[in-house]
Structure 1
Amino acid sequence: MEKSLMGDARNRTAVQEFILEGFPAVQHLGKVLFLVHLLMYLASITGNILIITITRADHHLQTPMYFFLSSFSLSECCFITTVIPKLLAIFLLGRQKISFVACMTQAFVFLSLGATVFFLMAVLSLDRYMAICKPLYYPTIMNPRMCSLLVTACLVLGFSLTVVPVTKLSQLSFCGFYLLFCGPNVLSHFFCDFIALIHLSCSDTRSVEMYFFFVTSFVILLSLIVTIIAYSNIVVTILRLPSAKERQKAFSTCSSHLIVLSLMYGSCVFIYLKPKQVNRLDSNREAALVNMVVTPLLNPVIYTLRNKQVHQALRDTLSRVRLQK
């Protein structure tokens, strides 16, 4: 018994840094993966910045919907930038080490921005509800001050909800007897994911897991409930419109939002709203990569390809650029 306690004490060495395992099965393709992910990252950033620029430059797009959309695009840019640059460094340079402080900071910012994005999507649903179901009250309620307050509330709520779980996570012990073959600081992920860190800990993580599950459930389910209620009313209102042309026009303003919602909820429910399972870490890692790289790339494509107003704003901007030359 005494030897066991001594062994535990030796193994409970404070971890100063973590090693991000990345994708060991394809590590030999580092340069190829670096190029692919770099191009996708740049395309995603470019697409989202394009949306922000267009909505700011064209007065036709200076409406509540596009204000929320540009806020969403900015959050997406920040969200993927917390993770992808480090992933690129792993692929190209093999720099897998990350300090304990940097790891916890990355986990906090990643979760906070993720929650903020979900709240913004719920706000976009409310905006569409007001525009379609309450058109007479829409300009009065969705004034610039209210729009700014809603975006600020999303940001504050997103960051405040993740303070406690990340603080509790940082207080856990990470020790060798839990993962004898991997070591106490080898993280089976390409970034400091909350679930991967919990699996690495040798402390009693039940309270941390419960709190994290509560927070993620609250964020995802709250935004989902708001969206379902909003779109249920929208569908009823659209079906009551007298002409097919009006119904098509009303639905076209919502279709892009619904596609993006499906992509976001699908990947996040798969990753976070399930019990702790070690054998699911690899599938989590792949799903997280899709959520981090593919979805943010598709979002600006979906919003621009399916939106005639954005098309017209792009043409007007390009015309002004040509005239200036």
Structure 2
Amino acid sequence: MEPGNDTQISEFILLGFSEEPELQPLIFGLFLSMYLITVFANLLIILTVSSDSHLHTPMYFFLSNLSFVDICFISTTIPKMLWNIQTQSKAITYEGCITQIYFFLLSAVLDIFLLTVMAYDRFVAICHPLHYTIIMNPRICGLLVLLCGLLVLVSWVMSALNSLLQSLMMLRLSFCTGLEIPHFFCELNQVVRCACSDTFLNDIVIYFAAAILGGGAFTGIIYSYSKIISCIRRISSTQGKYKAFSTCASHLSVVALFYCTVLSVYLSPASTHSSQSNITASVMYTVVTPMLNPFIYSLRNKDIKRALRRFIGMVSLKMPTYLWLKKCK
């Protein structure tokens, strides 16, 4: 097949999970349910944190940002996949594919940065509890919120620059006609492999970005947890050790699920991955992790559970009043 240039390719074909027609309704129902659960649960975390003044601390500020990013993350891939199943079409336009890559990478890198910052927050809370208590002093809360906002802003800027670079690198590639991507979305590695032109420079940029952004952030998480484990080992009582570990167990669970699957996709040689294993790993960090995050944090966190009960109680009290006023009008 002769290579064509960028203007000759108008769309890609996303092969998805299976070409069996009888499995499509099952896949549609399963992923629609997971998508709705993810959006609702993460939105509930955001509303709960914002409505409860007791949760206006760095840990929950970053958690609410993580929930927002998770909603964006899953929304970059699943709606298009569901639309394709519903319309019985596997096509995605060239422009749509590049746009999906941009927002997918933006959300993924933001997730990585936020998980890293949250690991450092747990390190300060466990290893320097007195400093953390001083930091939580209401008199400097305004400065603290500004600092947290600055960290999140830096994360957004770095993520946006990386996504823009990767998207611009895609524009230099030439593609052949009739391209089939063995995935349910435009995953960067898979799209690059479909190119007819030389992809050496793209591969270098992908691995370099993954090593610097992903590897650097992962090193920061490992460093934070090495210090946390060292601090926990010095605690004399078993109850104290359990209490200290329980404060970071939720975050550690999310990191283990999300980070390991991301690294397995982006830092492993292409020859070691089948398309099916690549799809499975991608589902874990693009769908399963965003869905489980709010449950992991809420089920293991007494503050979140108390705030959720107050928020749901407040909403349930206001709803009958709102309906009565609406009826009177």
3-state DSSP of counterpart to 1:44? helix
Question: How many residues end up aligned between the 2 structures?
Answer: 312
**1:256 counterpart (250, 260, 265):** 250
State the distance in 2 between where 1:321 and 1:82 align: 30
The answer for the alignment partner of 1:114 in structure 2 is: 108
The answer for the alignment partner of 1:152 in structure 2 is: 153
Question: C-alpha displacement at 1:121, in angstroms?
Answer: 0.2
The answer for the alignment partner of 2:209 in structure 1 is: 215
Q: For each residue in 1:135-157, what CA deviation from the matched residue of structure 2 results, as whole angstroms up to 9, or x when unmatched?
A: 33334398111111111111111
In structure 2, the CA distance between the partners of 1:134 and 1:19, relative to structure 1 (3 Å rule), is same
State the distance in 1 between where 2:182 and 2:316 align: 50
State the distance in 2 between where 1:107 and 1:38 align: 21
State the distance in 1 between where 2:7 and 2:214 align: 36
In structure 2, the CA distance between the partners of 1:12 and 1:160, relative to structure 1 (3 Å rule), is closer
Asked if the contact 2:10/2:94 (under 8 Å) is kept, the reply is yes
Asked if the contact 1:13/1:175 (under 8 Å) is kept, the reply is no
In structure 2, the CA distance between the partners of 1:10 and 1:242, relative to structure 1 (3 Å rule), is closer
In structure 2, the CA distance between the partners of 1:316 and 1:262, relative to structure 1 (3 Å rule), is same
State the distance in 1 between where 2:125 and 2:43 align: 25
State the distance in 1 between where 2:149 and 2:3 align: 52
In structure 2, the CA distance between the partners of 1:317 and 1:32, relative to structure 1 (3 Å rule), is same
State the distance in 2 between where 1:321 and 1:15 align: 51
In structure 2, the CA distance between the partners of 1:279 and 1:125, relative to structure 1 (3 Å rule), is closer
Question: After alignment, is 232-241 or 295-304 more displaced?
Answer: 232-241
3-state DSSP of counterpart to 1:277? helix
State the distance in 2 between where 1:65 and 1:10 align: 50
State the distance in 2 between where 1:18 and 1:10 align: 14
Counterpart of 2:12, as a letter, is: F
Asked if the contact 2:265/2:278 (under 8 Å) is kept, the reply is yes
The answer for the alignment partner of 2:86 in structure 1 is: 92
Question: C-alpha displacement at 1:11, in angstroms?
Answer: 8.8
Q: Pairwise mapping of residues 105-144 of structure 1 onto structure 2 (< 5 A)?
A: 105-138=99-132, 139-140=134-135, 143-144=144-145
Question: After alignment, is 263-272 or 244-253 more displaced?
Answer: 244-253
3-state DSSP of counterpart to 2:92? strand
The answer for the alignment partner of 1:161 in structure 2 is: 162
The answer for the alignment partner of 2:176 in structure 1 is: 175
State the distance in 2 between where 1:323 and 1:204 align: 62
Question: C-alpha displacement at 1:125, in angstroms?
Answer: 0.5
Question: C-alpha displacement at 1:276, in angstroms?
Answer: 2.6
Q: Pairwise mapping of residues 1-325 of structure 1 onto structure 2 (< 5 A)?
A: 8=2, 14-138=8-132, 139-140=134-135, 143-176=144-177, 183=178, 185-277=179-271, 280-324=274-318, 325=320
The answer for the alignment partner of 2:327 in structure 1 is: none
3-state DSSP of counterpart to 1:127? helix
With structure 2 as the length reference, what TM-score do the two structures score? 0.89
Asked if the contact 2:11/2:93 (under 8 Å) is kept, the reply is yes
Q: For each residue in 1:222-268, what CA deviation from the matched residue of structure 2 results, as whole angstroms up to 9, or x when unmatched?
A: 11111111111112222223433332222111000000000012211
Question: C-alpha displacement at 1:221, in angstroms?
Answer: 1.2
State the distance in 1 between where 2:298 and 2:251 align: 11
In structure 2, the CA distance between the partners of 1:25 and 1:10, relative to structure 1 (3 Å rule), is closer
What's the % identity of the aligned pairs?
A: 38
Question: C-alpha displacement at 1:10, in angstroms?
Answer: 6.8
Question: After alignment, is 18-27 or 292-301 more displaced?
Answer: 18-27
Asked if the contact 2:13/2:91 (under 8 Å) is kept, the reply is yes
State the distance in 1 between where 2:72 and 2:293 align: 14
Asked if the contact 1:199/1:278 (under 8 Å) is kept, the reply is no
With structure 1 as the length reference, what TM-score do the two structures score? 0.90
Question: C-alpha displacement at 1:199, in angstroms?
Answer: 1.2
In structure 2, the CA distance between the partners of 1:113 and 1:10, relative to structure 1 (3 Å rule), is closer
The runs of 5 or more residues in structure 2 that have no matched partner are 321-329
State the distance in 2 between where 1:199 and 1:278 align: 14
State the distance in 2 between where 1:73 and 1:287 align: 21
State the distance in 2 between where 1:12 and 1:75 align: 31
State the distance in 1 between where 2:123 and 2:245 align: 11
State the distance in 1 between where 2:232 and 2:4 align: 66
State the distance in 2 between where 1:166 and 1:11 align: 17
Question: C-alpha displacement at 1:18, in angstroms?
Answer: 1.4
State the distance in 2 between where 1:29 and 1:74 align: 31
